[in-house]
Amino acid sequence: MGRIVGSFGVKGWLKVKPFSAAPDALSNHDRWAVHAGGEWREVDLEDFEVHSKGPVAKLVGCDVREAADSLKGADVAIPREALTQAEQGSLYQVDLLGLEVVEEDGSLLGRIDGFFEAGDTSVMVVAGEGGRERLIPFVDDFVKSVDRDAGRVTVDWKADYDA
């Protein structure tokens, strides 16, 4: 759902980059899962504000700048059951995990194993046969359709893109 990108002030506030169009999307959830130091832990949200330079959050127990600095780069997630149904034309990345990824000609490239953010673009991690991994930007130029009922994402991704 987002990433902690740094500290804000000296009282433990965090700068947050949400992975949604709404800058306040994370403010609707009182409890966050934070991935830091190689493990996930749940923390309570104490306060949240949207400033001119983006959203900032205060987590319970994070009271000094050094604590906030230690969370820089940490991923923020929300339990799936806490999310509402995605709006028309929108998707939650978690709902795409495990779907087949096929070329427009129907050839199987693999299954979605995860996502990561590269600037303003989400990138699909597609796990194929023999441990082959493809990184496909989740943009209209490459992702042609998503059919969750069929469990399939169709892409325009040529074999020579991986060379």
Mean pLDDT is lowest, of 6-10, 16-20, 153-157, for 16-20
Domains in the chain, number: 2
Torsion angle of the four alpha carbons 45, 16, 124, 89, in this order, in degrees rounded to the nearest 10: 80
113 within some domain:
yes
- 143 within a domain of the structure (yes/no): yes
Q: What mean pLDDT value characterizes the chain?
A: 87
| Domain of 130, in residue numbers | 93-158
Given this model, what pLDDT does residue 92 score? 73
Of the residues 28, 59, 81, the one at which a domain ends: 81
Co-location of 60 and 115 in the same domain:
no
Please indicate, yes or no, if residue 110 is contained in any of the structural domains: yes
pLDDT at residue 15, as a whole number? 95
For residue 99, the domain's CATH number is 2.30.30.240
Q: Which of 81, 115, 140 is the last residue of a domain?
A: 81
Find out whether 107 and 135 touch, Cβ atoms under 8 Å. Answer: no
E-assigned strand segments in 37-150: 39-51, 54-59, 75-77, 100-103, 108-118, 121-127, 133-137, 143-147
Reported confidence tier of residue 14, pLDDT bands at 50, 70, 90: very high
Instruction: Kindly state whether residue 87 falls inside one of the protein's structural domains.
Output: no
* pLDDT tens per residue across span 124-159: 999 988 888 999 999 999 999 999 889 999 999 976
Write down the pTM of the prediction. 0.61
